Amino acid sequence: MKTIQIDITKAAQFLTPGAIEALEPQVKAAHASLENGTCPGNDFLGWLHLPSSTTADFLADLKATAATLRENCDTIVVAGIGGSYLGARAIIEALSNSFQWLLGEKKNPVILFAGNNISEDYLSELCDYLRGRNFGVINISKSGTTTETALAFRLLKRQCEQQRGKDMARRVIVAITDARRGAARTTADKEGYKSFVIPDNVGGRFSVLTPVGLLPIACAGFDIDQLIAGAQDMEKACGPDTPLAQNPAALYAACRNALYAAGKKVEILVNYQPKLHYMNEWWKQLYGESEGKDGKGIFPAAVDFTTDLHSMGQWIQEGERTIFETVISVETPEHELHFPDDDENLDGLNFLAGKRIDEVNKMAELGTQLAHVDGGVPNLRISMPRLDAYYLGQLIYFFELGCGISGNILGVNTFNQPGVEAYKRNMFALLDKPGYEAESKAIRARLNQ
């Protein structure tokens, strides 16, 4: 099997010759500190060898649970936020038919997402949609206390019990949470839900290859064995003894740090396949939450091309030169469709007639790369043979390891997210949460100034 490749030549030309190679000792040290558990946040390194330690029995349990949900549900709502949501959505959207919603085929349940916002309209409309449907719920929260997810779960649990009865609700509600702590665990144990554990040593944004991602993906009808197989092969390909030039994840980490040191403060992840939109979102969280701290870190942005060439293209071509691009290029599409011939040729496009549409897309990609490089934007290109479960497994592990190494080179604790608490403290103070009395008083005084 091929592995995902990274081409750094069009980024290296913006750096002093040898700048990336010179980082090899630092990259090796950063990688070794993940392997030997000496880096900051070392109690969250469970993801590092997760693919190779995933057993067939474990996957069988997940598949059996997914089968129960698929048999009993026409719709499955996945409640979760951040790392408890984005990975599953990224893979499901990447593998789904673009018009899944409208196909009306009964082979797979409709997968919906909730618990990732506090919008009254979203939740009302979701509850309306679910009325009369045989829906199930996967409630995902590592802490078990996240407000967005807990709110959605309250609504969904009540509606599921009312519509389907307590016994059936017990069969079609599954919890994925901590082994011991948190309200999601307490509820699951009290109600007797089937549950899966998020390992203590795997943080949310590194958890897509745990039940957090695997159960929703299996429920959607996709091959989690292949996903894990891809991740396992990438784990092998990126071992700590692999030289930098042959280790795609280490090379990515080295290159982005060299660019950052050269003043490139923003990384734009680019795809040419709309199905990768949520992969962009997952990646933004992975890198943003891991590296953005201590006043440091590349800002992760993302665009969908060619769509966003008609919105953000101008800025990328001629705006402030503090950016670089990382392009995910899918080599072979899953379908074959040719540019149509037209007798009248009113749009003047008959010169394209008969070409694969993907060839046109690839020329847009190449033309954009050349234009952006000419415009002063370094370009990294990740080449992925196909958009299938196996290569998505590779891509996930590639980005996770790249992030682990990159954060260590940057010198931050890659695995914590202390900054996320700031908004929660203010929100709870404003909402008069018990225990926040002093904060409530202080925040009101501040607002009344």
**What residues are annotated to the active site?**
289, 310, 424
Shortest distance (Å) from residue 32 CB to ligand PA5: 24
**CA distances in angstroms from 374 to 319, 323, 366, listed in the order given:** 13, 13, 12
Q: Which stretch binds ligand PA5 (CB under 6 A): 51-59, 201-209, 335-343, 361-369?
A: 201-209
Choice between 282 and 391, CB closer to ligand PA5: 282
Burial 127-166 (b: 16+ CB within 10 A, else e): eeebeebbbbbbbbbbbbebebbbbbbebbbebbbeebee
Shortest distance (Å) from residue 115 CB to ligand PA5: 8
Shortest distance (Å) from residue 85 CB to ligand PA5: 8
In which element (H, E) is residue 51 found?
A: helix 50-53
Shortest distance (Å) from residue 125 CB to ligand PA5: 23
Residues 398-417 that bind ligand PA5 (CB under 6 A): 417
Site for ligand PA5 contains 289 (CB under 6 A): yes
Site for ligand PA5 contains 146 (CB under 6 A): yes
Q: Which stretch binds ligand PA5 (CB under 6 A): 24-32, 78-86, 313-321, 429-437?
A: 78-86
Site for ligand PA5 contains 142 (CB under 6 A): yes
Choice between 40 and 333, CB closer to ligand PA5: 40
Shortest distance (Å) from residue 425 CB to ligand PA5: 14
Shortest distance (Å) from residue 414 CB to ligand PA5: 11
Answer yes or no: are the C-beta atoms of 83 and 206 closer than 8 Å: yes
- Other C-beta atoms closer than 10 Å to the C-beta of 239 total 12
Query: Amino acid letter at 261?
Result: A
- The whole-angstrom separation of Cα 233 and Cα 393 is 9
Instruction: Report the residue closest to ligand PA5, judged by CB.
Output: 204
The first and second tokens of residue 343, run together, are 């007798």
Site for ligand PA5 contains 213 (CB under 6 A): no
Shortest distance (Å) from residue 81 CB to ligand PA5: 5
- The whole-angstrom separation of Cα 279 and Cα 395 is 10
- 65, 84, 210, 273: which one contacts ligand PA5 (CB under 6 A)? 84
Half-sphere exposure of 75 (CA within 13 A, CB side): 19
DSSP-assigned letters across all residues of 190-219:
HHT-EEEEPPTTS-GGG-TTSHHHHHHHHH
- 87, 136, 203, 300: which one contacts ligand PA5 (CB under 6 A)? 203
Q: Is 339 exposed, middle or buried (0-12, 13-18, 19+ CB in 10 A)?
A: middle
Choice between 282 and 390, CB closer to ligand PA5: 282
Q: Which stretch binds ligand PA5 (CB under 6 A): 20-28, 140-148, 303-311, 387-395?
A: 140-148
Choice between 141 and 195, CB closer to ligand PA5: 141
Q: Which stretch binds ligand PA5 (CB under 6 A): 71-79, 117-125, 141-149, 234-242?
A: 141-149
Question: For 207-356, where are the alpha helices, taking DSSP H only?
Answer: 211-219, 224-237, 248-261, 277-291, 313-318
Sign of CA dihedral 314, 395, 205, 227: positive
Give the closest residue to 58 by CA, choosing from 209, 235, 233.
209
Site for ligand PA5 contains 204 (CB under 6 A): yes
Report the interface residues with ligand PA5, using CB under 6 A.
Answer: 81-84, 141-143, 146, 149, 203-205, 289, 417
